[in-house]
Each structure stands twice: as structure tokens, then as C-alpha cells.
Amino acid sequence: GDSVTQTEGQVTVSESKSLIINCTYSATSIGYPNLFWYVRYPGEGLQLLLKVITAGQKGSSRGFEATYNKEATSFHLQKASVQESDSAVYYCALSDRWNQGKLIFGQGTKLSIKP
């Protein structure tokens, strides 16, 4: 079936250091999925951080970037220099391009920033 895997449940990074959160996916029934990163800040609802719908393209928002790698079936989230305000839980997700509200989520990665 279709699935999303985030291997790290929790990541701690020092402020101003770089970050990478890994995401791989399997899309056996969805031929060409849309890929997303969602974020939940403390006390807030889940919100879209970025999305990419074309293989090989990069999405970016708030200093975060992710590239749709169809060959590696990956969509890793990166940031060059994290800030304390980036502390949140990050979810990788995919959907069929014709049914974008039906999202398949990864387990989520909690990012903590050390001052």
C-alpha cells in the first residue's frame, strides 16, 4: 500500500545549526503523488509548510526546503540555520493529485532547538 516513513521521532538541533528531517514514501497505488510537509507549532493546528507536485522540483517556505526525489522516493526537509521558533512537530505526507484532501501522513518528527 501507500505509506510515508519518518525515521526520527525526535530531533534536537542547536540554534543556527543545519537541519535535515528524513522522509521516504511508497506510492504503489498512487502513480504520481503530491508531496507535503505540514507543521504543528505548540498550541496550534496543523498547517501546510510546503508542497511539491512535480518530481525533481524543490519547494521552499520560511527557510525550509524539500526536493521531490522520485528515484529515491524521498522528500527530506532541510534548513540551513534553525531558530528557536522552529520548534514544532513536522509531518511528511502524500496524496493523490486528484484527491488532495486524502493525505497519508508519516509519524511526525518533533524538532527541539537548543539555545
| List of residues contacting other proteins (CB under 8 A) | 4, 38, 43-48, 53, 91, 97, 99-108
- Please state the closest distance from residue 101 (CB atom) to other proteins, in A: 5
Residue identified by cell 508531496 is: 35
Alpha-carbon span 27 to 111, nearest angstrom: 26
Residue identified by cell 527541539 is: 112
- Please state the closest distance from residue 37 (CB atom) to other proteins, in A: 13
CB nearer to other proteins: give 42 or 115: 42
CB nearer to other proteins: give 55 or 80: 55
DSSP conformation class of 69: B
Question: Pairing state of beta strands 47-52 and 58-61?
Answer: unpaired
Q: Which residues pair with 47 in a beta bridge?
A: 39
CB nearer to other proteins: give 41 or 80: 41
- Please state the closest distance from residue 76 (CB atom) to other proteins, in A: 18
